[in-house]
């Protein structure tokens, strides 16, 4: 088995747990006080299951609090972001389904770290 993809980001890190033609699964860890970019994807939908911590999810400009043991669905094309407003690491399992799962399917609407689309 090949080594799984792992990447550090300004907000924390992610590790790809499974990558297949029909879906991709990532473990995302968000550092306390950080958040991902407000973004959308044209070629995939996502399902976020909170393993530990508390996620503050913005979905189409509506705030949702998602506690450990709960999940939220991100439809294809919807603007979304996840933030960690607690003092503990946030761990989310992300399941992507769609036609394409590359990182270049990220359209960044707003980003705390100066990254463009």
Question: Which CATH number characterizes residue 42's domain?
Answer: 2.60.120.10
21 within domain boundaries? yes
What's the mean pLDDT in 56-80? 98
**Closest CA relative to residue 96, chosen from 41, 37, 55, 38:** 41
pTM of the model: 0.93
Q: Distance between CA atoms of 94 and 27, rounded to whole angstroms?
A: 6
Domains: count for the chain: 1
37-55 pLDDT, tens digit each = 999 999 999 999 999 999 9
Domain that holds residue 89: 6-110
116 within domain boundaries? no
What residues pair up with 18 in beta bridges, in sequence order?
25
Q: Give Cα separations from 95 to 18, 32, 98, 114 (angstroms).
A: 9, 22, 10, 26
How sure is the predictor about 2, in pLDDT bands with cuts at 50, 70 and 90? low
117 within domain boundaries? no
């Amino acid at each position: 088995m090949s080594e799984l993809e792992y990447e550090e980001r300004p907000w924390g890190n992610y590790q790809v747990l499974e990558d297949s033609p029909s879906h991709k699964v990532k473990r995302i860890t968000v550092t306390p006080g950080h958040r991902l970019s407000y973004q959308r994807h044209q070629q995939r939908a996502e399902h976020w299951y909170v393993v530990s911590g508390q996620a503050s999810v913005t979905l189409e400009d509506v705030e949702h609090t998602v506690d450990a043991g709960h999940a939220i669905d991100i439809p294809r094309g919807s603007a979304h972001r996840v933030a960690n407003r607690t003092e503990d690491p946030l761990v989310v399992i992300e399941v992507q389904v769609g036609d394409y799962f590359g990182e270049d399917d990220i359209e960044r609407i707003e980003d705390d770290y100066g990254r463009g689309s």
